[in-house]
Amino acid sequence: MDFTHEHEMFRQMVRKFVQTEIDPHIDEWEEARIFPAHDLFKKMGNLGLLGLTYPEQYGGGGVDYWYNAILLEEVGRTQCGGVPMAIAVQTDMATPALAEHGNDYQKETFLKPAIAGDAVFSIAVSEPDAGSDVAAIRTRAVLDGDEYVINGSKMWITNGTQADFLCLLTRTSGDYGFRGMSLIVVPTSTPGFSVSRKLEKLGNHSSDTAILSFDNMRVPVRNRIGAEGMGFMLQMRQFQQERLAAVLMSLSGVEQIIRTTINYTRERHAFGKPLLNNQWIYFKISELLTEVEAQRQLAYHCVRRFVAGEDITREVSMAKLKGGRLAREAADWCLQFHGGMGYVEEYPMARYFRDSRLMSIGGGADEIMLRIIAKLEGILPEGE
Amino acid sequence: MKVVVCTKQTPSTTAVFSVNNGAVSWEDSGGKPNVVNPWDEYAVEEAIRVKENHGASQAIALTMGTPDSQEALKTCLAMGCDEAILVSDPSFAGSDTLGTARILAAALEKIDGAKVVIFGKQAIDGDTGLTPVQVARKLGWTPVTYVSAIKEIKGHTITLERLLEDGKETVTTDLPVVISVVKEINEPRYPSFMGIRKANRATIPTWSAADLNISGGVGAGASQADWSHVYAIPAREGSVEIIEGDSVEEKVAALVDKLFEEKVI
Ligand SMILES: Cc1cc2nc3c(=O)[nH]c(=O)nc-3n(C[C@H](O)[C@H](O)[C@H](O)COP(=O)(O)OP(=O)(O)OC[C@H]3O[C@@H](n4cnc5c(N)ncnc54)[C@H](O)[C@@H]3O)c2cc1C
Ligand SMILES: Cc1cc2nc3c(=O)[nH]c(=O)nc-3n(C[C@H](O)[C@H](O)[C@H](O)COP(=O)(O)OP(=O)(O)OC[C@H]3O[C@@H](n4cnc5c(N)ncnc54)[C@H](O)[C@@H]3O)c2cc1C
């Protein structure tokens, strides 16, 4: 058994939290195109939800990743993609490198408030001209005494308009390639930091996504996580946890939309019987549920290996690829079975259709997962 | 002064209740474990607040039940109770509310310094609401029901607000008291993650019949109340009639006639 009674108790607690503190506000936050990150994160921090696996010394829970898996699964049950994604940025995408490779000063100054919910984090990797091709980033940090002077810009940054700290991937030497990059924690109060624009998106409306710009931002050298030039490696490691989180959260969403579709088609009648009683529909739903179960087992396999401290790059890349594909397939079929109701905003269906599409793009597109898998299998052609 | 909260482990609110040949069953398709009786969550919260705001030295959770009732007690610990005690013995099985009250009263007498005992309004499975007053009677303490606020605990007295159908009532009485609380009294907190961790590491003492000085009979044999006939209420027959007509006026006229006919208006 992967889950103990204590895990179950924890699950019930998170479920109740999501039902009372998140669910009732989703429509309002979607409409507002932002959610109150500081307010929600503080509530989560008070319950110890934002640093479950992090050291107790900094306010973390010091427990195994299964707790975090439960958090993600339960948060993923809320009826939107935006808020769960924003939470996962804080817990699984912007802070793992800091927790694992940061020094005491950095953890005390940046990680502790993140765990407490006093500070909101963003992960700033992608740029207008470099998304999939991380090695092409151009944001540059130039050493000047005991400070870096940073110039450049970042694109599609989740929590970008509300963040207190960025975990920034920047070039510290060279012009192209994975050498010469560093991860630096940047307080957004630094002069020269600005939010260029909040992006209007297809979905995940409750999450704010921004273009950030850096104009001669001076950041102390002691904010650099790990050694200079290690940034790419640290970020690739951090990506593994980001992908695992995306996989676990999206599982809840996909399962939920299928269950919603079962309920809808059971109630809705056409041609003298419930829609669900058409073999075309109940077979398709059975097939989708089978995919979900298989995906869950792959996800749990990743968690088990992750907990054991093993490298999950291969499996989590497969799970991320599969998760994206499954979300797209399920969204399409479930919308189809909702008929006209799937196309209007009265039902959760339309929102799921929009939000779930991100799974195949964010955190590394499907094609990037395929590249990683091919590489690890030794079938990626030379020079590709 | 210690505050004790008495809780019961009940099926979760999503469990489906059914009766077959007089036998009651609670099935939870979600496979959810039993929970702290939902009404008792307010009692647990209030006990913790009595400690936080009214200077109780300890908040203790007490349950009479089968060994797996420990799980409900863990929730109380996770929310913030300092201690939990399980009262369990094979001879307690099948106790009615009076038997339960005898057992709980004996356990409460064993807890040194217990001055305020808090119950939920009723349990969602048995739904009698009797246990709190019966416990008070056994102990010879003052019972106060439908409590919606604990206003003050001063010296040997406690001031409470009761929520009644027609209004509110303020009562001051001597300690010790046994009170049952309504949901208006507070908003129960979530068990914190740290609380859950602590609760699962805690060992919960179990008191058996031999540890208690119970007066009066307990268990199925001593039950005064007998569920002689338990049955599910038959589903009500309903039918729908759609009123036809050529115009809205015609349909409305027909509807009004119908409503008069059925003596609805
Ligand atoms: C809502 C949202 C939130 C985001 N949040 C963040 C965030 O918080 N922080 C952050 O740093 N980034 C964030 N991103 C950015 C995200 O990580 C990138 O969009 C993603 O990595 C894809 O990069 P790109 O958009 O530049 O696509 P491109 O690199 O331009 O690729 C476009 C498409 O081309 C295909 N492709 C690319 N390379 C290859 C190849 N070698 N072979 C075959 N096909 C290929 C893929 O299908 C890909 O989808 C977010 C994006 C979105 C939409
Ligand atoms: C934007 C929009 C504009 C529209 N404009 C108009 C308009 O101007 N005028 C108008 O009259 N209508 C309009 N409609 C309604 C539209 O024609 C219906 O939504 C459509 O015909 C499907 O009907 P339904 O929504 O009732 O789906 P349902 O009949 O409830 O069917 C739901 C789903 O069940 C499945 N299904 C149904 N029957 C079977 C079966 N026998 N076997 C297997 N699967 C089955 C299909 O996947 C179907 O999509 C509009 C709808 C939308 C979304």
Q: Using most ligand atoms within 8 A of CB, pick from A275, A284, A335, A349 the residue to mutate for ligand 2.
A: A275
CA A45 to chain centre: 18
In sign, the C-alpha dihedral spanning B76, B81, B87, B88 is positive
Rounded CA-CA distance A173/B212 in Å is 76
> A187 and A131 share a domain?
yes
Q: Which two tokens stand for residue B162?
A: 């009761």
Which residues of chain A make contact with B192, given a CB cutoff of 8 A? 46-48
DSSP state of A228: T
What is residue A270's three-state secondary structure?
strand
CA atoms within 13 A on the CB side of A133: 9
Rounded CA-CA distance A33/A80 in Å is 12
Q: What is the CATH number of the domain that holds A150?
A: 2.40.110.10
> A172 and A133 share a domain?
yes
What is residue B50's three-state secondary structure?
helix
**Strands A121-124, A181-187: pairing kind:** unpaired
Q: Is the CB of A297 under 6 A from ligand 2?
A: no
pTM as predicted: 0.86
> A250 and A349 share a domain?
yes
Mean pLDDT, residues A305-311 taken together: 96
Q: Which two tokens stand for residue A78?
A: 């809320």
b/e sequence B221-254, b meaning 16+ C-beta within 10 Å? eebeeeeeeeeeeeeeeeeeeeeeeeeeeeeeee
Q: Is the CB of A280 under 6 A from ligand 2?
A: yes
> A317 and A184 share a domain?
no
> A98 and A160 share a domain?
no
- B108-165 tens-digit pLDDT: 999 999 999 999 988 777 777 789 999 999 999 999 999 999 999 999 999 999 999 9
- At residue B33, the pLDDT reads 62
Residue A68 corresponds to which amino acid?
N
> A82 and A36 share a domain?
yes
Q: Is the peptide bond before B132 cis (omega within 30 degrees of 0)?
A: no
Task: For residue A204, report the distance from its CA to the centre of ligand 2, in Å.
Answer: 26
Residue A298 corresponds to which amino acid?
L
Q: Pick from A104, A120, A136: which residue ends a domain?
A: A120
If you take atom 35 of ligand 1, which residue's CA is the nearest one? A367
- At residue A146, the pLDDT reads 97
- A201-255 tens-digit pLDDT: 999 999 999 999 999 999 999 999 999 999 999 999 999 999 999 999 999 999 9
Q: Could you give the C-alpha distances from B8 to A216, A355, B61, B140, in angstroms and in order?
A: 63, 42, 10, 22
- At residue B237, the pLDDT reads 85
Which residues of chain B make contact with A8, given a CB cutoff of 8 A? 33
> A82 and A207 share a domain?
no
Identify which of A348, A40, A80 has the alpha carbon closest to the alpha carbon of residue A206: A80
> A115 and A173 share a domain?
no
Ligand nearest to the CA of A381: 1
The domain of A127 spans 122-230
Tell me whether A129 touches chain B (CB under 8 Å).
no
B222 band by pLDDT with thresholds 50, 70 and 90: confident
> A334 and A200 share a domain?
no
Domains of chain B as residue ranges with CATH? 2-222 (3.40.50.620)
Rounded CA-CA distance B46/B139 in Å is 21
- Residue pair B182/B132 in contact (Cβ under 8 Å)? The answer is no
- Residue pair B106/B89 in contact (Cβ under 8 Å)? The answer is no
Residue A68 falls inside a structural domain: yes
CA nearest to B68 within chain A: A5
Interface confidence, given as ipTM, is 0.70
Q: Do B193 and A47 touch (CB under 8 A)?
A: yes
- At residue B239, the pLDDT reads 85
Chain B: closest CA distance from residue A14 (Å): 9
- At residue B187, the pLDDT reads 93
Q: Which two tokens stand for residue A89?
A: 């940025």
- At residue B32, the pLDDT reads 60
Residue A57 falls inside a structural domain: yes
Rounded CA-CA distance B8/B40 in Å is 7
- Residue pair A164/A133 in contact (Cβ under 8 Å)? The answer is no
Tell me whether A19 touches chain B (CB under 8 Å).
no
Which residues of chain A make contact with B33, given a CB cutoff of 8 A? 5, 8
Q: What is the CATH number of the domain that holds A359?
A: 1.20.140.10
Residue A200 falls inside a structural domain: yes
In chain B, what is the straight-line distance between the N-terminal and C-terminal CA atoms, in Å? 59
Residues 6+ apart with CB under 8 A from B175: B1, B115, B116, B153, B156, B157, B158
What is residue A158's three-state secondary structure?
strand
**Which one of B71, B193, B197 has the shortest CB-CB distance to A49?**
B193
Residue A384 falls inside a structural domain: no
- B165-192 tens-digit pLDDT: 999 999 999 999 999 999 999 999 988 8
A242 a catalytic residue: yes
Tell me whether B188 touches chain A (CB under 8 Å).
no
Q: Using most ligand atoms within 8 A of CB, pick from A281, A284, A285 the residue to mutate for ligand 2.
A: A281
Q: Where are the beta strands (DSSP E) in A9-146?
A: 121-124, 140-144
Q: Do B190 and A52 touch (CB under 8 A)?
A: no
Chain A interface mutation, best of B74, B193, B198, highest count of A Cβ atoms under 10 Å: B193
Q: What own/partner pairs with CB < 8 Å and gap ≥ 24 does A309-314 have?
A: A311/A240, A312/A240, A312/A244, A313/A240, A313/A372, A313/A376, A314/A372, A314/A373, A314/A376
Tell me whether A67 touches chain B (CB under 8 Å).
yes
> A225 and A237 share a domain?
no
- B25-37 tens-digit pLDDT: 777 655 566 778 8
Cα Rg for chain B, rounded, in angstroms? Answer: 23
> A253 and A370 share a domain?
yes
Q: Is A1 a residue whose pLDDT tops 80?
A: no
> A126 and A105 share a domain?
no
DSSP state of A189: T
Residue A59 falls inside a structural domain: yes
Tell me whether A65 touches chain B (CB under 8 Å).
no
Determine whether A308 is exposed, middle or buried from the number of CB atoms within 10 Å of its CB (0-12, 13-18, 19+).
Answer: exposed
Say how many domains are in chain A: 3
**Which one of B35, B71, B196 has the shortest CB-CB distance to A10?**
B196
